[in-house]
Amino acid sequence: MVISSLKRAVGGAIFLACGLPAMHSARAQEKPYFVTYSYDLEEPGNLDIETKTALARPDGSTRYGAAALELEYGVLAWWTSELYLDGQTTAEESTIFTGFRLENRIRPLMHEHIINPALYFEYENLNGADKNLLEVVGHDGQSDLATPNDEARREHEHEAELKLILTSNVKDWNISENFIAEKNLGHSPWEFGYAFGAARPLSSRSGGRPCTFCAQRFMAGIEAYGGLGDTAALTLRETSHYIAPLIGWEAPKGLRLSFSPGFGLTETSLDRVYRIGVAYEFNQIADWFRHAGVAQ
């Protein structure tokens, strides 16, 4: 049931993206990471719409599919703003909306350096049934994901999350590290986590002819992420850690697809989590309204 509903969702996203040939699209510098952020921001004026899906099965529970719809807008060349809408389907239980996230990323330095920082600020309004695993912090584990939806959704989480994003570009490799601090605004201590990613295109050179499946359209890499405990217990005991190879494809007309099988490294982690990303970028959306205004 979960798989078929996700197939429909992915199919719908592909149909939507392929059905918009008249709209302008561009390929940004997006990397195929699911958890790690690089310092690359959205080009100013562009809107990127992406779905990130996570499929997994916690011990003692049924399979689930969680999806996050991400709307990312480039406000300025050094500032990107995002809205996430999260939901999930758990087999033999229910399909529910689990909340939203608002985030902003800024680049404080205007020039390129060996290590480039970006700062990330997020407000999350989620319920306890959220299973998207867009970050792993503190002592997050698969037991949190095994709680039945009816019970988990009663817990409301208002959280603030801060990330320090560091990125280097070394010989066409993108190397990014994230240090995460998250705080439940109602109670609970600060929780910490990390993410690390490295990715590069399969070919550095453009071939000079339009192509669909050429090497330059593919990126491959790996990411690792996990929790680092909290202020009450700053330890790696009972924390989750994952390692996940990545592959991304930039299809013609601005559509991007990515896939990553993630593998849990500790008993607290999920054994496996499969992630699928579908994205489409719209160029200079403010121009649409400007042109519409001129036409009137």
Identify the residue among 59, 150, 172, 267 touching another protein (CB under 8 A). Answer: 172
Written as one string, the DSSP assignment of 244-272 is: EEEEEEE-GGGEEEEEEEEEE-STTS-SE
Of 81 and 127, nearer to another protein (C-beta) is 81
Of 33 and 192, the one with the shorter C-beta distance to another protein is 33
* Residue with tokens 């992406």, as numbered in its chain: 50
Stretch that binds another protein, among 21-29, 60-68, 86-94, 154-162 (CB under 8 A): 21-29
Q: How far apart are CA 272 and CA 54, in angstroms?
A: 10
Q: How far, in Å, CA of 56 to CA of 52, rounded?
A: 13
* Residue among 11, 21, 207, 245 that touches another protein (CB under 8 A): 207
Query: Tokens 């049931």 sit at which residue?
Result: 1
| Residue 19 vs 210, nearer CB to another protein | 210
Q: Which of residues 58-117 bind another protein (CB under 8 A)?
A: 76-78, 107, 110-112, 116
User: Which residues have a Cβ under 8 Å from the Cβ of 238 and sit 6 or more positions away?
Assistant: 139, 141, 268
Q: Which is nearer to another protein, 242 or 280 (CB)?
A: 280
Residue 286 to residue 70: CA distance in whole angstroms: 19
Least distance from another protein to the Cβ atom of residue 116, Å: 8
294 binds another protein (CB under 8 A): no
Kindly state the number of chain residues that form the binding site for another protein, as judged by CB under 8 A.
Answer: 36
Tokens for 294, please give them.
């001129």
CA-based nearest residue to 197, from 163, 231, 229, 156: 163
* Closer of 110 and 295 to another protein (Cβ): 110
Is residue 174 a contact point for another protein (CB under 8 A)? yes
- Residue from 14, 20, 24, 123 touching another protein (CB under 8 A): that is 24
Residue 165 backbone zone (phi > 0: left; psi -120 to 50: alpha; other: beta): beta
Interactions with another protein, residue window 38-57 (CB under 8 A): 38, 40-41, 43-46
Torsion of CA 197, 61, 155, 227, to 10 degrees: -30
Binding residues for another protein (CB under 8 A): 24, 26-29, 31, 38, 40-41, 43-46, 76-78, 107, 110-112, 116, 169, 172, 174, 200-201, 204-210, 216, 283-284
